[in-house]
Chain A
């Protein structure tokens, strides 16, 4: 028998391990066929829930809309398209909506999708979703048989169809989510999630990855094309860029990269960066004023700050021309947007004249006032950096600003929504499709609610704005509605409770070898059922 010494054994084991390690170091150069294959999506954030019924935002929205289907989906021109509902019909008085459901849809556990599940989901979303105005007009929902749903409204609600999108109304199986447990903390929101969408939940590992697999029983024939979606959570922006350049990650939306990275990618052979797919969310960055605190109670002071901020510098220099100016409370991708509003082009002389008029004259050191600028922690590029630029610009008109860095999101919300102890706050907030859902909340008097995040935290109140919002929320004639929102936008930009800076420059970066990606109004917060690898 051969004698194996301890030294020989260690040497053999080590060399074997090193050889095997070296062989595993060969870079991955796998190719993909047109149908099937795996798509790795990079996410810069680990979602606390995969169920869009209880959680808004893209963290839950991108994977959640793959797992859950919804009555309707939207194309890039804001037109509703059939999804679980093959047709839909409003009554003549606009107070009843009837949905006719497809009859071949199944949940991932094999149970059929029935009208009662849609009824359950509408009621559950109404009760649990953070956007209360979305379904507040719904008076009653009933199932008629297994494939018909009748929704009765308290009053006309033009935002109702949009609220049937996958990101806003996931259809959940009642037999799982209606088991009596609290929906917000339901264990099946994050593990063993069951919907009827194109991909089936396979695995969730907190802060690491989410794996979804093709739903072989998806109700739309021939879809999905891909076998597997892997969401890789990469917190570090440099790692995200390296992983995308290496081809380890094929898709990233909501820009987990810096704008400088986007610029670099625009010249890449393998990757493409596009700003399509963000019209629905309508992401705006603004600086909010605490309108109930001196001297911001005076409209002239707010307007002075607006004139003193050089938006072109922010957009063209700081953001490398990758963003656009925002002019008012409604994002420019919305059908209700109007550019016909006061613009506040950079004019420091006018700003100083307004401050003089408001009685804020410079002291011996040339200082008119000392103020604070807060920003949402975590948004350094669009919050802190822009805040610092504004600080420098305000100095030119004699306003001494301190950019305050609060330790975390919770502290910021406490300061802005809890104690209202602030002067200016840099914020990025979404429109969420219809103004009723994501715009009114920031301006209407009824939404001034202490301690409630993303409410009317600038404490702005204008009876005409409230009236216009109420009228527009009920108006089903699109042209009349546009006119109401045009006046709404004009008054708000004139009053300046917030000063609009720029559209958040979100970009989707993906491999050029991908086709059929969702580029409707909800972009990546819509099903990837048509996504495929090109030959």
Chain B
């Protein structure tokens, strides 16, 4: 586990270094962008903008200043908002985590459940329904589904809000939680559906294999109840590939969140990343990439831990 932690730190450090230089290879000058957004500028103003943001210094010097500040927890100020990047990102981490984790919950939970049901009778109507549902869910583009859900459930039948994460003026406590949950339904379902399809396919295949094992036959011979065989005996083994997939797919869900956040105006990191790229806001882009790298690494480590918890064989064999 110590090696994995060291590897994770190294990975995050490499992401920081690579991103810093890669982003500067992109065309476009942040000073010109800022001046353009302000409505124009003289040569002196452009020079002053470059000086304020340290863009007049050599690249290597800019890097060491950035890296040095980063070690103290300072990710610099946004070129666009002139607010600390840490504050801007912290505001967005929770919405993104909420969206990603609820989508993950929907996709893994419902997907696995459907997979188990399909595996129980793979050639029955339910089995075919799950296959069809999976194929459809996998084929629908997330942004299109989002738009359709909005038109259907926010306009024709206005049960859900159009966008954002909460209504203005909703006070704290349970009302606030419910308000956020209300706003979360459509985006998390949009994001979760494509992944749900994959989990149902994987868990179905895995369950079919496990259900054919000797110990399941033994359980049946002992007279164990069918739901207990499916959800206790078989699922515990069959769920391992699902967990592996969930860990691996987290990065993809984060990428998918960019689209969903854009469609639903969800105030998360994905939308911020998209906007910051257009604004040439280097410190914010770097901050988001850093935060995403940390999130992916942490969740991969967490997946490892869950894996060990679910399957005692891995725990006892040292986890290799």
- B175 CB, min distance to chain A CBs, angstroms: 8
Residues of chain B with a CB closer than 8 A to A243's CB: 162-163
Of B27, B39, B43, B280, chain A has the most CB atoms within 10 Å of the CB of: B39
Which of A235, A408, A455 contacts B40 (CB under 8 A)? A455
- Contact mask for chain B residues 132-166; partner A; CB cutoff 8 A; 1 contact, 0 none: 00000000000000010011001100111111110
Residues of chain A with a CB closer than 8 A to B32's CB: 410, 413-414, 417-418, 451, 453
In the assembled complex, B52 has its CB within 8 A of some CB on chain A: yes
Which of A235, A246, A377, A449 contacts B154 (CB under 8 A)? A246
Would A242 and B174 be within 8 Å (CB), given that A130-B40, A454-B36 are in contact? no
Q: B280: nearest residue on chain A (CB-CB)? A: A410
Q: Decide: A409 and B29 in contact? CB cutoff 8 A.
A: no
- Contact mask for chain A residues 434-468; partner B; CB cutoff 8 A; 1 contact, 0 none: 00000001000000010111110000000000000
CA–CA, A246 to B151, complex, Å? Answer: 11
Which of A191, A230, A378, A417 contacts B83 (CB under 8 A)? A191
In the assembled complex, B299 has its CB within 8 A of some CB on chain A: no
In the assembled complex, A297 has its CB within 8 A of some CB on chain B: no
Q: A233: nearest residue on chain B (CB-CB)? A: B265
CB pairs A–B below 8 angstroms (6 shown): A20-B178, A234-B163, A242-B154, A407-B28, A452-B35, A453-B35
Which of B28, B40, B272, B279 contacts A441 (CB under 8 A)? B40
Residues of chain B with a CB closer than 8 A to A369's CB: none
Residues of B169-204 at the interface with A, using a CB-CB cut-off of 8 Å, are 174-175, 178-179, 181-182
Q: Decide: B39 and A130 in contact? CB cutoff 8 A.
A: yes
- B142 CB, min distance to chain A CBs, angstroms: 14
**Could you tell me which A residues sit within 8 Å of B by CB distance?**
17, 20-21, 24-25, 27, 40, 46, 48-49, 54-57, 130-132, 182, 184-185, 187, 189-191, 205-209, 211, 230, 232-236, 238-239, 242-243, 245-246, 248, 377-378, 406-411, 413-414, 417-418, 441, 449, 451-455
Q: Decide: A414 and B28 in contact? CB cutoff 8 A.
A: yes
Label chain A's interface by main secondary structure. loop
Q: B26: nearest residue on chain A (CB-CB)? A: A407
Which of A56, A377, A407, A413 contacts B39 (CB under 8 A)? A56
CA–CA, A453 to B26, complex, Å? Answer: 19
Label chain B's interface by main secondary structure. helix
Would A242 and B82 be within 8 Å (CB), given that A54-B38, A205-B91, A409-B278 are in contact? no
Which of A187, A233, A234, A414 contacts B82 (CB under 8 A)? A187
- A230 CB, min distance to chain B CBs, angstroms: 6
The 5 residue pairs across chains A and B that have the minimum distance between CB atoms: A56-B39, A410-B28, A410-B33, A454-B40, A453-B36
Q: B179: nearest residue on chain A (CB-CB)? A: A24
- A427 CB, min distance to chain B CBs, angstroms: 11
Residues of chain B with a CB closer than 8 A to A411's CB: 27-28
Q: B27: nearest residue on chain A (CB-CB)? A: A411
Q: Decide: B275 and A207 in contact? CB cutoff 8 A.
A: yes
- Contact mask for chain B residues 14-47; partner A; CB cutoff 8 A; 1 contact, 0 none: 0000000000001111101111111111110110
Would A418 and B267 be within 8 Å (CB), given that A184-B52, A409-B37, A449-B42 are in contact? no
- B205 CB, min distance to chain A CBs, angstroms: 30
CA–CA, A55 to B154, complex, Å? Answer: 36
Q: Decide: B81 and A190 in contact? CB cutoff 8 A.
A: yes
CA–CA, A407 to B154, complex, Å? Answer: 32
CA–CA, A246 to B39, complex, Å? Answer: 34
Which of B35, B49, B168, B182 contacts A25 (CB under 8 A)? B182
CA–CA, A20 to B154, complex, Å? Answer: 19
Would A452 and B46 be within 8 Å (CB), given that A130-B38, A211-B168 are in contact? yes
- B27 CB, min distance to chain A CBs, angstroms: 5
- B22 CB, min distance to chain A CBs, angstroms: 14
CA–CA, A242 to B175, complex, Å? Answer: 24
18 new A-B pairs (CB below 8 Å) besides A407-B28, A410-B36? A21-B181, A48-B37, A130-B35, A131-B39, A131-B40, A182-B52, A190-B81, A190-B82, A235-B262, A236-B163, A242-B151, A378-B278, A406-B27, A408-B28, A408-B33, A414-B28, A449-B42, A454-B39
Which of A130, A211, A236 contacts B263 (CB under 8 A)? A236
Of B43, B82, B280, chain A has the most CB atoms within 10 Å of the CB of: B82
Q: Decide: A242 and B41 in contact? CB cutoff 8 A.
A: no
- A200 CB, min distance to chain B CBs, angstroms: 16
Residues of chain B with a CB closer than 8 A to A234's CB: 163, 265
Would A190 and B83 be within 8 Å (CB), given that A25-B182, A410-B30 are in contact? yes
Of A48, A189, A411, A451, chain B has the most CB atoms within 10 Å of the CB of: A48
Q: Decide: A24 and B182 in contact? CB cutoff 8 A.
A: yes
Of B43, B164, B279, chain A has the most CB atoms within 10 Å of the CB of: B164
Residues of chain A with a CB closer than 8 A to B159's CB: 25, 27
Q: Decide: A46 and B275 in contact? CB cutoff 8 A.
A: yes
- A515 CB, min distance to chain B CBs, angstroms: 23
Residues of chain A with a CB closer than 8 A to B262's CB: 235-236
Would A48 and B81 be within 8 Å (CB), given that A234-B265, A235-B262, A413-B33 are in contact? yes
Residues of chain A with a CB closer than 8 A to B265's CB: 233-236, 239
Residues of chain B with a CB closer than 8 A to A378's CB: 278
Q: Decide: A246 and B155 in contact? CB cutoff 8 A.
A: yes
Q: Decide: A207 and B41 in contact? CB cutoff 8 A.
A: no
CA–CA, A452 to B34, complex, Å? Answer: 11
- Contact mask for chain B residues 244-281; partner A; CB cutoff 8 A; 1 contact, 0 none: 00000000000000000011110100011001011110
Q: A377: nearest residue on chain B (CB-CB)? A: B278
Q: Decide: B38 and A55 in contact? CB cutoff 8 A.
A: yes
Residues of chain B with a CB closer than 8 A to A407's CB: 26-28
Q: Decide: A449 and B43 in contact? CB cutoff 8 A.
A: yes
CA–CA, A48 to B26, complex, Å? Answer: 22
Q: Decide: B83 and A206 in contact? CB cutoff 8 A.
A: yes
Residues of chain B with a CB closer than 8 A to A48's CB: 34, 37-38, 80-82
Q: A52: nearest residue on chain B (CB-CB)? A: B39
Q: Decide: A238 and B147 in contact? CB cutoff 8 A.
A: yes
Which of A27, A209, A409 contacts B33 (CB under 8 A)? A409
Q: Decide: B150 and A21 in contact? CB cutoff 8 A.
A: no
- A28 CB, min distance to chain B CBs, angstroms: 8
In the assembled complex, B213 has its CB within 8 A of some CB on chain A: no
Residues of chain B with a CB closer than 8 A to A414's CB: 27-29, 32
Which of A56, A131, A184, A211 contacts B48 (CB under 8 A)? A184
CA–CA, A190 to B87, complex, Å? Answer: 14
Residues of chain B with a CB closer than 8 A to A190's CB: 81-83
Q: Decide: A418 and B168 in contact? CB cutoff 8 A.
A: no
Which of B34, B178, B278 contacts A17 (CB under 8 A)? B178
CA–CA, A236 to B151, complex, Å? Answer: 13
Residues of chain B with a CB closer than 8 A to A208's CB: 164-165, 267
Of B38, B263, B272, chain A has the most CB atoms within 10 Å of the CB of: B38
- A435 CB, min distance to chain B CBs, angstroms: 16
Q: Decide: B42 and A20 in contact? CB cutoff 8 A.
A: no
CA–CA, A239 to B147, complex, Å? Answer: 9
CA–CA, A410 to B277, complex, Å? Answer: 10
CA–CA, A483 to B45, complex, Å? Answer: 35
Q: Decide: B46 and A451 in contact? CB cutoff 8 A.
A: yes
Residues of chain B with a CB closer than 8 A to A20's CB: 174, 178
Residues of chain A with a CB closer than 8 A to B175's CB: 24
Residues of chain B with a CB closer than 8 A to A248's CB: 161-162
Which of A206, A209, A408 contacts B81 (CB under 8 A)? A206
